[in-house]
A = this chain, B = another copy of it.
Amino acid sequence: MKSKFIALITDFGTNDSFVSSMKGVIYSRYPSASVIDITHQIQAQNIKMGAFYIMVTMQYMPKNTLFIAVIDPDVGTGRGILWAKTRDYQFICPDNGLISWISEKEEILESRFINNSDLFLPKISPTFHGRDIMAPAAAEIAKGLKETKIGPIFNEYRKFPFPHPVRSGNNITGEALSVDNYGNVITNITREYVNVKSIFTVGGKIIKGLKLTYASVNDKEPLCLIGSFGFLEFSIRNGNFAQIYNVKPGDKIEAIVSLDE
């Protein structure tokens, strides 16, 4: 699918030249491309964190944007490399579950195994398929390569289910999905599950009610709101919730939905 925009998400950090080498390969083949860095600070080899950031950013990217996601602990082994497309976006990544949560936003319409070695660099390092396979393949695909030339249809890609919250009467059980740079804890609970008078328990702390924004409470006070990713978040105004209450991704969140709203 033709696209000017290629979005990169990796766990490479920016201290080395891993990211820039990938960009060099892309621009060498497709000089008028425009690369958007989603983030390169995914925790090393944390595939779920990668899947999360793909899910929450895709809708903000230009239509047709091709994501390349390189969180790839099994690089150089037999694991395959995928290209997949939804109505509005497309994705290249190792077959390790990175595209698992895309379908929370848009259905995957087609997926292929990237095996056309004409697309790759002539020499492939067993430890850096991002640069030697994914980047050059992405450049060709984004330039408009016929999709049948990518490789065969492959629908048995790895996928881990999105952990939807569980409702039992007026109790909701969810979990922490991610912690952002400010220490805000992002959960898997969306607005539909709760109401403004709900009572939340996380990390041993009880928080009453849903607020609108950080400034709805006093300085250093904890609060709960629907954050900019569309999920329930726990924050401390001008403070670090995750650190103070020691909350990590995977930790349990409970909500009691009020009956008198």
Residue positions of A touching B, CB distance < 8 A? 4-5, 7, 12-18, 20-21, 23-25, 27-28, 31, 34, 36-41, 44-45, 53, 56-57, 60-63, 65, 73-77, 125-128, 131-132, 180-182, 212-216, 225-228, 230, 238
A contact face: mostly helix, strand, loop, or mixed: loop
Contact A60 B25 (CB under 8 A): yes
Question: Nearest 5 CB-CB pairs, A to B?
Answer: A76-B213, A128-B228, A24-B60, A125-B228, A24-B61
Complex CA–CA separation, A183 to B254 (angstroms): 39
Of the candidates A27, A45, A212, the one having the most CB atoms from chain B within 10 angstroms of its own CB is A27
Distance (whole angstroms) from the CB of A222 to the closest CB of chain B: 15
Complex CA–CA separation, A41 to B181 (angstroms): 11
Complex CA–CA separation, A45 to B60 (angstroms): 24
Contact A14 B39 (CB under 8 A): yes
Contact B126 A77 (CB under 8 A): no
Contact A228 B131 (CB under 8 A): yes
Contact B28 A127 (CB under 8 A): no
Contact A36 B62 (CB under 8 A): no
Complex CA–CA separation, A17 to B229 (angstroms): 10
